[in-house]
A and B are shown apart, each in its own frame.
Chain A
Amino acid sequence: MSAHGITRADLQAVNLPRRRLVNRLMQALATLAAAIAVAALVLIVWSVAKRGASALNLDLLTRDPAPFSFTPVKQGLENAFVGSLVLVGLATAMALPVGLLVAVYLTEYARPAIRSSVSLVLDVLNGVPAIVIGIFVYGLLVLGHGQSGWAGAFALACLMLPLVTRSTMEVLVLVPSSLREASLGLGIPRWRTTLSIVLPQTIGGVVTGTVLAVARIAGETAPLLFTSSIVGSQTSWSPTHALQSVPVAIFELSEQADPGSHARAWAAAFVLLLFILFTSLAGRWVATRNRRRLSTSR
């Protein structure tokens, strides 16, 4: 462009060398920032992988801990892995149905006023720090009764609920209204429309949301400290008593003095990290695949 004979080069010419320098500098800084972030992540994952992999053996998953054995003895963290499985499983069983139903209610039935208030409530629930959830469940279920896997699972479910609800809502509104209209027009009752026509369209999104929520709570420590931390060494599947969990085990082992405990902590952290990364990636892959399917099917 050249209005009144001024070219771009003319405009740029003002102070150009200094401005170019500043530009280069800022580019370098931005690249440096990215490099630092990548380095930080690589540092952590590398530490966990290196130390964890070297301490990783099948014993970790098949043997129970032998605390205070003082002489080297084969031990592992089987009770923690089994406990985490039970706790996360129960938490999902509690949070998933409720989350689905809340999402259905908010998208299919609720008046706008109710919808925004309940959404607000869910936002609030999402913003409660995990440690306060721990205090809450402690006061509700543990005081006077003792710790239990149920209390721990319930605390984790409270953390999962807003995540599952929100991701289900996000996919529920993607279902075209024409689908609902057609179904109702054919004489199918509203409830069957919702359950048989609308919900099946959302399975992919629900799975994604649940998987991502699982990845999130698999590493949660604070709520379990209050509700499921007084545990024995023997592996147990029963949630009536407190169950050991992988994050709590790592937390306790990290504060011990002996290198054997540290090694087991790294190994457990390695397995936990792999699990979380794998489930996060799986969740995102399902989400992308689903988004592609939904967009092509329209």
Chain B
Amino acid sequence: MTSAGEAAELTRRPFTGRRLRFGDVSLQAVAGAAAAVATVLVGLIAWKVTAGAWPAIRRYGISFVWTNSWNPLPGHELYGAASFLFGTAVTSLGALLLAAPLAIGIAIYLTEIAPRLLRGPVTALVETLAAVPSVVIGLWGILVLGPVLRSDIEPSLHRALGFVPLFGPPSTTGSSIFTAIVVLTMMILPIVSSITRELFLGVPQDQKEGALALGSTHWEMVRGVMFPYARGGIAAALILGLGRALGEAIAVTQVIGGIAGGTGIHWNLFATSDTLASKIASSYQGATTNLQLASLVYLGLILLVFSLLINFFAQRIVRRGARRQGVGANRGALG
């Protein structure tokens, strides 16, 4: 077993009397070219997306971000990202709020409570949820979840808690922010729970035993030893889940319904709305003017920037944490 650094060092050590072989040069050149291609690709993506958004950037500048309008009427065209940023924020944070306790609960269950025989199957089941494609979850959302929410759950919640503006009049079609939140929760649950589970598995056994020996109940041990130990990693896992929710376009498009009646910024979870990703998915094909197309790409640029920041930081934290705990202990320093 070797680290990547050692391998490279090994092959770069000068061999006296050995002339440069054509094969060596070719392989290194070809492999290096491939790496260059990957790098160029990312640069190309950043460039193309910015270039595509440029007409809108030039026209609106940064004020696009807080302009609450999407008016394609010729002569009155005005585009802004505010309602979609709001929709993205509400759906992603809502999903995170629902998924966090569920994921932590699942992780605790799988590491501390479940009988040994159940651990494997249940873990596999939860991870299978991650394998379901978003379009299938969206299909289920439209045809199964939506009608149930519309006819039973949303009206009951509205009747019971209608004084809270969050639970306003339910939408008549089953598509709503709430439906999108439920769908997104199901999509980010596997990621967050599997990372949390691995973190919990890495808690040093002696610390756990020590707490128990000192008289803690099981729950007190979890709260006092496991949570503090895993806190940073759980935060990173939640951020990763957030990144996944931000970028989800298809399932959200299928169940969120699109902004109705002017503004998308309202507190009613049971009304329809749009997110950055769903607006792009539903409108790019019918974009009628260059400015509208550029504005849609501008939305994509904003989405890209947010996703990159979130995913990048979360992945780094997770990997650093995993390395520290020896999860995947055979991995060397990959950078």
Contacts and interface: CB of A to CB of B under 8 A. Distances in A.
CB–CB under 8 A between A and B in the complex?
A: yes
A280 to B, nearest CB: 5
Interface of A: 1, 8, 10-12, 14, 19-20, 22-23, 26-27, 29-34, 36-38, 40-45, 47-48, 97-98, 101-102, 104-112, 114-133, 135-136, 138-140, 158, 161, 165, 169-170, 172-177, 180-181, 184, 189-195, 215, 218-222, 225-226, 229, 247, 250-251, 254-255, 262, 265-266, 269, 272-273, 276-277, 280, 298
B113 interface: yes
B189 A37 contact: yes
Given A33-B105, A129-B247, A129-B304, A23 B219 contact: yes
Given A110-B35, A139-B52, A215-B131, A132 B303 contact: yes
A126 to B, nearest CB: 7
Given A173-B2, A180-B11, 5 more contacts: A31-B109, A33-B103, A37-B102, A105-B32, A107-B4
A255 B133 contact: no
B48 A254 contact: no
Given A8-B213, A105-B35, A131-B249, A269 B139 contact: yes
B172 interface: no
Interface string B205-239: 00000000111011110100000000000000000
Q: Select the residue from A23, A37, A43, A169 with max chain B CB neighbours within 10 A.
A: A37
B312 A127 contact: yes
A251 B135 contact: yes
A173 B49 CA distance: 35
B245 to A, nearest CB: 11
A245 B233 CA distance: 38
A109 B8 contact: yes
A97 B33 CA distance: 12
Q: Is the interface of B mostly helix, strand, loop or mixed?
A: helix
A298 B246 CA distance: 44
Interface string B61-95: 00000000000000000000000000000000000
Given A33-B105, A33-B106, A180-B7, A132 B304 contact: yes
Contact of A119 (B52, B249, B304, B335): B335
A12 B215 contact: yes
B23 A191 contact: yes
B144 to A, nearest CB: 5
B27 interface: yes
A44 B52 contact: no
B44 interface: yes
Interface stretch (B160-168, B261-269, B326-334): B326-334
Given A44-B140, A112-B335, A262-B143, A124 B10 contact: no
A30 B133 contact: no
Interface of B: 1-8, 10-12, 15, 21, 23-24, 26-28, 30-35, 37-39, 41-42, 44-45, 48-49, 51-52, 101-106, 108-110, 112-114, 122, 125-126, 128-129, 131-140, 142-144, 186, 189, 193, 213-215, 217-220, 222, 243, 246-250, 254, 277, 280-281, 284-285, 297, 300, 303-304, 307-308, 310-312, 315-316, 330-332, 334-335
B110 A22 contact: no
A24 B235 CA distance: 26
Contacts of B8: 107-111, 115
A120 B335 contact: yes
A101 B220 CA distance: 50
A34 to B, nearest CB: 4
B2 to A, nearest CB: 4
B106 A128 contact: no
B4 A129 contact: no
B133 A272 contact: yes
Contacts, number: 329
Contacts of B193: 37
Given A105-B32, A221-B134, A247-B135, A33 B280 contact: no
A100 to B, nearest CB: 8
Given A11-B215, A250-B135, A135 B280 contact: yes
Contacts of A129: 246-249, 277, 303-304, 307
Given A11-B215, A37-B102, A221-B134, A174 B1 contact: yes
9 contacts: A34-B126, A44-B140, A102-B34, A108-B7, A109-B12, A126-B311, A131-B277, A189-B24, A191-B28
B31 A48 contact: no
Contacts of A121: 38-39, 42
Contacts of B35: 101-102, 105-106, 110, 114, 118
Contacts of A139: 48-49, 51-52, 297
A-B pairs with lowest CB-CB distance, top 9: A219-B133, A33-B105, A129-B247, A127-B311, A11-B215, A116-B335, A101-B34, A177-B2, A105-B31
A166 to B, nearest CB: 9
Contact of A254 (B5, B51, B138, B280): B138
B125 A41 contact: yes
Given A33-B105, A161-B38, A222-B250, A115 B11 contact: no
Contacts of B133: 218-221, 247, 272-273, 276
A123 B314 CA distance: 11
Contacts of B304: 128-129, 132
Contact of A221 (B31, B129, B135, B315): B135
Given A23-B220, A127-B315, A11 B214 contact: yes
